[in-house]
Amino acid sequence: MEKIYDVVIVGGGIVGAATFYKMASRFPDLKLALIEKEDHLAAHQTGNNSGVIHSGLYYKPGSQKATHCVQGRRELVKFAQEYNVTHDVCGKVVVAAEDREIQYLDKIFNIGLENEIEGIEKITRDQVKEIEPFCEGIAGIRVPCTGIIDFKQATRTMVEVGLSKCKQADVFMGEKVEAVVKQDGISILKTNKQQVKAKHVIFCAGLWADKMAKKDGVKLKEKVVGFRGDYYELTDQGKHKVKHLIYPVPDPAFPFLGVHFTRMTDGEIECGPNAVFTFKREGYGKTDFSLKDTVDALSYGGTWKLFFNNMSFGINEYRRAFSKKRFLETLQRLIPSLTMEDIRPGRSGVRALLLSEDGDTRDDFRIAHADNNIHVLNAPSPAATASLAIGNSVVNMAEKHFGLETLV
């Protein structure tokens, strides 16, 4: 008899893995499956992000980003401790380089208090120097609960633990869902290798969230647009200039946190990322191009409104993307002693943003129930940090709409 799964999760990034783990933990008797189009987990956004366990400092109090980040951070650290995932709660400093930034520093400090972020404190120029001797700033915020983690390892571990808890669970790697067909209340997922039947599907498709929603018949006005972030890393002669994590005060008019310094779990120090429009959804190289992806993004009015609303910022980001000297100048705002010999080109990542028709990228996390299925439509940063909390919310929604108790 052909197997019909109770729930299939599409997407093997950390949000899909966390949902798989949470579903397996709460409903261990389900027929459960995870489908990932690559041959390994965490292949895209999860495996190419900055590796930071975010505190929740920047997000509007009461928003899903704020509540899920704070809750998810605490749960992620406990998970990492329990299952020996490489991590370090090392803390970070957010540093104001000039007087005009003090008002924004005060604002995010107050947001941090409202979001109940433990241990945050304002610090002076001298205290910044005590924590990061090579950093130059006029004031700062110390955030002791920020950390670093190996998100790839965390993702793999979530799936492994989920498999151990749910005996009827399967994981299909290297299978791309190419079509979704509805038949007698069942979703038939047609992959490049087989057909997988499910009573319910949870789509955690990241960069392809809007495309998968469309395949599933969901009418979505917004469109996912990708932004590439390029990193540099400190050479051996420059590594001693960064001890922990150093962030600038973010520009409130732009949806990214700015170029920052991050000590990674493998001992490397990364600097970045910038943020430039990518001409390919999974384009990690500066010259990567897909005509289909480019036409798709540039035929959408929201993309052009974003460009026009952030014209000067976008031009500067592109200049930095192709100029090591300009990238260095940005880094020198916080660490003036850095030289060209202290940095070398590193990796790149691509971030998915669900872009509204008016060009606004500041949409909250969005999870939608549609017919028999659930779609995680928007999960940009801090989604990796918040993944276990997002997984909880998805499973709660599934429990409410899928009638999971009756399936087992």
User: For residue 149, what are the β-bridge partners?
Assistant: 87
- AA letter at 100: R
Q: Are residues 327 and 373 in the same domain?
A: no
Q: Are residues 325 and 344 in the same domain?
A: yes
Q: What are phi and psi of 37, to 5 degrees?
A: -75, -25
Q: Are residues 205 and 338 in the same domain?
A: no
Q: Does residue 35 sit in helix, strand or coil?
A: strand
Residue after which a domain boundary falls, among 347, 362, 377: 362
123: in domain: no
H/E stretch holding 170 reads: strand 169-173
Q: Are residues 165 and 41 in the same domain?
A: yes
Domain range holding 156? 4-46+152-222+364-407
Return d(Cα 407, Cα 71) in angstroms, integer.
Answer: 29
Q: Are residues 336 and 385 in the same domain?
A: no
254: in domain: no
CATH of the domain at 207: 3.50.50.60
135: in domain: no
Query: Would you put residue 330 in left (φ > 0), alpha (ψ -120 to 50) or beta?
Result: alpha
Instruction: Please give the tally of structural domains in the chain.
Output: 2
Q: Are residues 28 and 156 in the same domain?
A: yes
Residue after which a domain boundary falls, among 362, 379, 394: 362
177: in domain: yes
Cα 18–Cα 54–Cα 306 angle in degrees, nearest 5: 95
Q: Does residue 205 sit in helix, strand or coil?
A: coil
Q: Are residues 281 and 351 in the same domain?
A: yes
Q: Are residues 203 and 305 in the same domain?
A: no
Task: Note the pLDDT of residue 343.
Answer: 96
Q: Are residues 276 and 162 in the same domain?
A: no
Q: Are residues 386 and 341 in the same domain?
A: no
Task: Note the pLDDT of residue 313.
Answer: 64
**Residue 101, token pair as written in the block:** 């930034």
288: in domain: yes
Q: Are residues 289 and 371 in the same domain?
A: no
Taking the chain (408 residues) in consecutive chunks of 10 residues, what is each chunk's mean pLDDT? 90 98 97 97 93 95 97 98 98 96 95 97 97 97 98 98 97 97 94 96 96 93 89 96 95 72 95 86 89 88 82 69 87 96 94 85 86 94 97 96 74
64: in domain: no
Task: Note the pLDDT of residue 362.
Answer: 66
402 with 198: CB under 8 angstroms? Answer: no
**Residue 284, token pair as written in the block:** 């990690």
172: in domain: yes
Give the number of other Cβ atoms within 10 Å of residue 35's Cβ: 26
Q: Are residues 319 and 337 in the same domain?
A: yes
The distance of Cα 380 from the centroid of its chain, to the nearest Å, equals: 5
164: in domain: yes
